[in-house]
Chain A
Amino acid sequence: MGQVSVKEGPMSDAIIDQRAGKGTVFVRTEICKGCSFCIDFCPTDCLTFSKEFNPKGYHFPILSAPEACTGCDLCGLYCPDFAIYGERWKDIDERKAKGQPLSVPATLPPPAQKSVSQHPVSADPKGVLTGIHFVDGNHAACEGAIAAGCRFIAGYPITPSTEIVERFASRIPMVGGVFIQMEDELASSIAVQGAAWGGKKVLSVTSGPGFSLMMEHIGLAVMTETPGVWVDVQRGGPSTGLPTLPAQSDMMQARWGSHGDNEIIALVPNSPQECFDLMIKAFNLAELYRCPIMFMMDEVVGHMVERVEIPTADKIQVVPRKFTTKSKQEYRAYATTADDLVPEMTKAGEGYRIHVTGLTHDERGYPSLNAATQDKLVKRLIGKIRSHAADLVDIQEDAMDDAEIVVVSYGITSRIAKSAVDDARQRGLKVGHLRLRIVWPFPAARIRELCQKAKVVIMPELNMGQMVMELERAVTSGTKVVSIPHAGGSVHEPEAILKKIIEAAS
């Protein structure tokens, strides 16, 4: 601990050579708020209020009966403003004789340096269940998380996502990690953030109403730049809706559900295999961008059983956390550079004495509640993702070469869309298919590019028209946009999509 500000400000100027009592008090008069706790509870009544005021307008304590002061420091224990304390002359002299400058031990030297490199490394083989499996999307997503290095899940049961936590609970004791079923989704979505600051890679899982409950903590993760993956196995809503049936109606909630301006990344798998593969990607993106990653499954993908191939650990690339290499003195928890808007991280227990808050904060992480800090922080939180929008494009293109009609889809709906597009192609229609695997940030620029020649773009989705609004903004003004909404509870009939393609072609 460096020198402290005891000598700043108008400390008492008393000449104390006389040493009337066994001890004395030290007062930082400028921070005193005049509560009189020290004066009233001084066991020897040696303090009184000053006649003069401090700069805040308070009378402060003075040692009016120095001969009575024992230096017991009860005043120091009472003072709610840390403005007064007492010390015995004996202790002061002993310390001086020993050459100890201060009455408290200095803090420890900076901890050993770690790597800041984020070059991908091979997955830990302990967590990788290499082989061919016949499992549903929920189980595959869980295996993806374990393979990606997830060692802490806090969850709360909710249909249709529960199999993910059930599998983790049975798998993790053999891998080395923790599963805890919390008392609600609010708890689970913040327990994972505590674990992230304890150094773990983390995941939280939910559906429907649980996703609504988690919104506040998704905002916290945005604000505190806590890496983690949030899985939403979408079911029909609003409210309790259709617990056992599919929907894609949380797409806008994933993006905008938490209050305040923010930017997140959302991935959408359409098969159990992709639940595994994209989950690895989700964890890696969480580490690269230090933001919550939304993993937007749905009931059908979650419960659909298919072949899932899990490769050997050396074939799975995992991005390590961006732990700082800076010394304790240099490290500022939220400092970034112009080229890299993602700050270096640390974890509790490393001696950095970090402060992490959901309040608007400066580079040290300290609350700083003003427009200038807010502007700088929010622009960076958003900028660190928007400036990498091109890196975050993940679109699967199919039959796009001569396409005049383009079906744009994501998640489970893309499987039905593909069947309709294949059917239309057989009928000789010039139709292509774009499948979005990352939906947020919405790949507007790339879609505009791909759909330049398209006369009509069609978007089927299991909601009443959510992502289609983004699509409308993305395509050029001459392109017609057709929405095929569906309220959820089942998937589209391929014929419904085919019909719109035929209509567009005629």
Chain B
Amino acid sequence: MTILPNTAPTLLRDIDSINPVMPFLRQERIPHIWCPSCGIGTTVNCFTRALTESGMDLDQIAIVSGIGCTGRVAGYMNLDSFHTTHGRAIPFATGLKLANPKLKVVVYSGDGDLTAIGGNHFMHAARRNMDLMVVCVNNFTYGMTGGQVAPTTPLGAKQTTMPFGNFEAPLNLPFLADACGAVYVARWTVFHVRQLAKAMQEGLKKKGFVFIEALSPCPTLYSRRNKRGDGIDELKNYKQNSIVKHGAETKDVGLTFDGKIVVGKFVDRERPTWLDAMNDHFTQTLGSKYAPYGG
């Protein structure tokens, strides 16, 4: 081990060092717009660690977001990045992936964007086993527009458009992804940073439709309106109430307002991707007439 020469006092700021997240960000755009103690930035840290660990060529990774708070992630990432329309990140990503199959295409968006307005696309991309990694930051609400009820809002939670408490049953996102055919389904919270980073790393390497749900606090709207404290209180809640249960039946992992949170890797299976299925099928049925498609 080399010891720094002690000839002059060394200031911390003079050490040649860099926050490992920084090379992955468009640094001229930092600070970001997210509220204090919002968890989206934490998921970004996990994603960047996963990118580092994966050893993948960053020039071959594209990130696609929809609209909303999490929809801003694409704009902060120093990757080929696309900030599309509300709910349509998945079909955009589908076109991008099929046009250039060498790309690893990551969809990074929120629960409202992916599963309400974008629910149809989510379902069908999973059904087709489109080779996409979908990261859904689930904060149980529409943050950007001011805290309206989302398809993930737990029963009883107050939202601006459910002022007397939510009476609609929420979606269980891992169950939805599983039922539609996703080959990898995991849920973690922003308390579980290392596990979330590992899931993302596995997701980057996995071929097919990968779904990773990251529960995250919305301190400004969801937590405050429901008197659940600040972001840090939500993280402590995740710590206390999470149960790690790998391989859990996804139908059993639905979330409630103040109940237990089942986290873990629920699904990890193999299925041909849409593009592989197309190439195999046409090779079989059309033989030498088929012009194999590689991008």
Contacts and interface: CB of A to CB of B under 8 A. Distances in A.
Contacts of A78: 42, 45, 190, 193
A24 interface: yes
A15 B9 contact: yes
B92 A353 contact: no
Contacts of B97: 194, 198
A82 B22 contact: yes
Contacts of A24: 12
A35 B99 contact: no
Interface stretch (B81-89, B153-161, B243-251): B81-89
Contacts, number: 296
Contact of B95 (A12, A17, A198): A198
A154 B98 CA distance: 11
A81 B282 CA distance: 49
B22 A13 contact: no
Interface in A162-202: 173-178, 180, 182-184, 186-188, 190-200, 202
Residue of B40, B64, B98 contacting most chain A CB atoms (<10 Å): B98
A190 B91 contact: yes
Given A4-B18, A6-B17, A184 B120 contact: yes
Interface stretch (B199-207, B229-237, B265-273): B229-237
Contact of B16 (A95, A195, A366): A95
Contacts of B17: 6, 26, 87, 92, 102-103
* Interface of A, helix, strand, loop or mixed by DSSP: mixed
Nearest to B72: A367
B29 A366 contact: yes
B259 interface: no
B88 A35 contact: no
A1 interface: yes
Contacts of A382: none
B194 interface: yes
Contacts of A76: 19-21, 45
Contacts of A192: 95
Interface in A50-100: 58, 73-74, 76-82, 85, 87, 90, 92-97
Interface in B156-200: 190-191, 193-194, 197
Contacts of A195: 95-96, 98-99
A247 interface: no
Interface stretch (A314-322, A354-362, A475-483, A491-499): A354-362
A90 B292 CA distance: 51
Interface residues of B, number: 95
Q: Which range contains the number of A residues in contact with the other chain?
A: 35 or more
Contacts of A367: 75, 83
A352 B80 contact: yes
A218 B194 CA distance: 41
A170 to B, nearest CB: 10
A35 B232 contact: yes
Interface stretch (A334-342, A343-351, A384-392): A343-351
A250 to B, nearest CB: 21
Interface stretch (A36-44, A412-420, A466-474): A36-44
A211 interface: no
Nearest to B57: A108
Contact of A180 (B12, B29, B78, B94): B94
A178 B10 CA distance: 59
Given A15-B10, A41-B191, 19 more contacts: A4-B23, A5-B30, A28-B19, A35-B231, A77-B45, A77-B193, A80-B42, A81-B34, A93-B3, A174-B291, A183-B91, A183-B123, A184-B120, A194-B98, A197-B82, A202-B95, A353-B79, A355-B81, A358-B85
9 contacts: A4-B18, A4-B19, A40-B236, A80-B34, A82-B32, A82-B45, A197-B99, A349-B103, A359-B83
Interface of B: 1-4, 6, 9-13, 15-23, 25-32, 34-42, 44-46, 49, 52, 57-60, 62, 64, 74-75, 78-85, 87-88, 91-100, 102-103, 120-121, 123-124, 190-191, 193-194, 197, 230-232, 235-236, 274, 278, 282, 286, 289-293, 295
Interface of A: 1, 4-7, 11-17, 24, 26, 28, 31, 33-37, 40-41, 58, 73-74, 76-82, 85, 87, 90, 92-97, 101-104, 107-108, 111, 126, 152, 154, 173-178, 180, 182-184, 186-188, 190-200, 202, 216-217, 220, 347-359, 366-367
